[in-house]
Structure 1
Amino acid sequence: MAITEGRNQQGQHAAPAPALPTELHTTKPVKYVWAAARIAIGWVFLWAFADKLFGLGFATPGKRAWINGGSPTTGFLKGTADHTFGGFFSGLAGQGWADWLFMIGLAGIGAALILGAGVRIAAVTGGLLLVLMWAAELPLANNPFMDEHLIYAIVLAGLALANAGDTAGIGRWWGNTDLVRHYPILK
């Protein structure tokens, strides 16, 4: 660890202050914090998929479950009609292709994050999905611009940059496959 010296307000030599190690982001505790964040956000996506698919009674009642003929996009997107981009987003509500894309996205992003394989692509697609959901609610009711959708998108970027799938996941193995070595975005 490097030590830096300076002078205090009276011009005298101050006690040396330890500099932060440059490898701080790679320490074992930090890796496990990123792994926990990865698994937690993965669970958020996977839970949303399961609740919308089966109508588990949390955000989606059983009668509105996708397997019972409900639309996983209708509730949220129809509620955006009075927002800035409401005409665009409410027009997507209930479209078959939008339902399928949304549900495949929730399941794929959630599974990739929990397993730790494909974290980069999950971060990109998850971030895009979250930013679109954020845009659908503009203007926000409780803050001029920031909400949990943007926070999750920022954390997803951090997960990808930190190679968070390598700790408590199969990311290291996945990254060594021929497919991923040839197409690194799939890591």
Structure 2
Amino acid sequence: MSGSNRSSSEGITVMAVHQPTHRGSGFHLPSFRRNHAASVQESAESAEAGTFTARAYVFASVRVLMGFVFLWAFLDKTFGFGYATASGKGWVDGGSPTEGFLGHVAVGPMESVFHAWAGAAWADWLFMLGLLGIGLALTAGVALRPAALAGTVMMALMWVAEWPPAKHLSDGSASMSTNPFVDYHLVYAVVLIALAVVSAGDAFGLGRLWARLPLVRDHGWLR
């Protein structure tokens, strides 16, 4: 019996020693979940960058178009190209850029004030320098905040000169106002402010270079 027990014990020991162990083969399937998450994040970042770029280009295009509006007004009033200013009546020909518009104001609370300003040398110079400065700033994409401020003041004065809320002019005739509040002067002012807020000069413009100038860097309102 003891010999039999000893043989059984030895057999069990041998089996225990030679019992195969099941280990992993070392091959792992790729983590599709991790790769998918990274791909989704990259796609989202790419889409966001594309949206930002498209938005920047849209604002830059609006900025250039607005710049041309002001520059053309300056050029036409200076040289009399025959559009809003008749040929031979430009500023260089001795004409007044403000006399025609301000002198014909026929409605509003500042009617008499505008009549007094019409044709004054200081009014002509301020108006023309404003058109030129705003136009150049918008076209180049620099000093958009000062341009927005100056442009908003100019548009506000022109809005008051036309006075859209009035249904009748001072002589009793119909004003032909199409809207009692919103006209293109108000729209222009809002666009100028928006362009300054979003720094529209950074795309297709010199806004980034302008912002690096020491004077501009120290005085943010010059951006």
Contact in 2 for aligned 1:127/1:153 (Cα 8 Å): yes
1:120 aligned residue: 145
Q: For the residues of structure 2 that align with 1:92 and 1:47, how far apart are their CA atoms?
A: 23
Query: 1:178 aligns to what?
Result: 214
Look up the match of 1:57.
82
Structure-2 separation of matches of 1:40 and 1:158? 14
Aligned partners of 1:93, 1:43: CA distance in 2, in Å? 25
Query: As a proportion of its length, which structure holds more helix?
Result: 2
SS, match of residue 60 in structure 1: coil
2:158 partner letter: M
Is the CA contact (8 Å cut-off) linking 1:85 and 1:138 kept in structure 2? no
**Structure 2 counterparts to residues 7-18 of structure 1, below 5 A:** none
Counterpart check, 1:161 vs 2:197: yes
Counterparts in 2 of 1:14-163, with a 5 A limit?
Answer: 27-140=52-165, 141-163=177-199
- Are the aligned partners of 2:164 and 2:183 in contact in 1 as well (CA < 8 Å)? no
Please report the RMSD computed on the Cα atoms of aligned residues, expressed in angstroms. 1.6
Q: Contact conserved, 2:107 with 2:163, CA < 8 A, in 1?
A: no
Distance 1:69 1:115 in 2: 30
Query: How many Å apart are 1:139 and its aligned residue?
Result: 3.5
2:116 is aligned with what amino acid? Answer: G
Q: Aligned equivalents of 1:125 and 1:45: distance in 2?
A: 12
Helix, strand or coil at the partner of 2:131 = helix
Listed as ranges, the gaps of 5+ residues in structure 2 are 1-47, 166-176
What CA distance in whole angstroms lies between the structure 2 residues aligned with 1:139 and 1:151? 13
Return the offset for 1:90: 1.7
Give yes or no for contact 2:107–2:161 (8 Å, CA) kept in 1: no
User: Letter of the aligned partner of 2:86 in structure 1?
Assistant: P
Structure 1 spans left out of the alignment, 5+ residues: 1-22
Question: Which amino acid in 2 is paired with 1:170?
Answer: L
Residue identity in the other structure for 1:173: L
TM score, norm. by length of structure 1 = 0.84
Identity percentage of aligned residues: 49
Distance in structure 2 (CA, Å) of the matches to 1:83 and 1:124: 23
Give the superposition deviation at 1:63. 2.1
- Provide the C-alpha distance between the structure 1 equivalents of 2:156 and 2:101, rounded to a whole number of angstroms: 14
What is the CA–CA distance in structure 2 between the aligned matches of 1:34 and 1:89, rounded to whole Å?
34
Residue 182 (structure 1) shift: 1.4
1:12-45 deviation digits (Å, cap 9, x = unpaired): xxxxxxxxxxx79x71111111101111111100
